[in-house]
Amino acid sequence: MPPFDFHRFLDQMKDPSAAPIARYTKGFISAFYRRETWTVNEQIKFIQDFLNVTKKPLLKTN
């Protein structure tokens, strides 16, 4: 697997077909910061759930 390329990720998020993932990502970040206290296990689960939802659609983009 190639290393993560943040600039490529940003370009992918600008594509109109990525609008649902972009909205989901914004919601994820907002929800994460709205809650003041997270246990480590809660953080892990929240992030893993996000990755499970977004991984396939992101892999489909060029």
Residue 62 has a pLDDT of 58
Is the pTM here over 0.75, yes or no?
no
Q: What is the pLDDT of residue 61?
A: 64
Q: Which residue has the tokens 């943040």?
A: 6
Structure tokens at 16: 């109109």
Within the chain, which residues score under 70 in pLDDT? 1, 61-62
Summarised one tens digit per residue, pLDDT across range 2-19 is 788 899 888 888 889 888
Could you give the C-alpha distances from 10 to 7, 14, 21, 50, 57, in angstroms and in order?
5, 6, 12, 17, 15
Q: How do the domains of the chain map onto residue ranges? A: 37-62
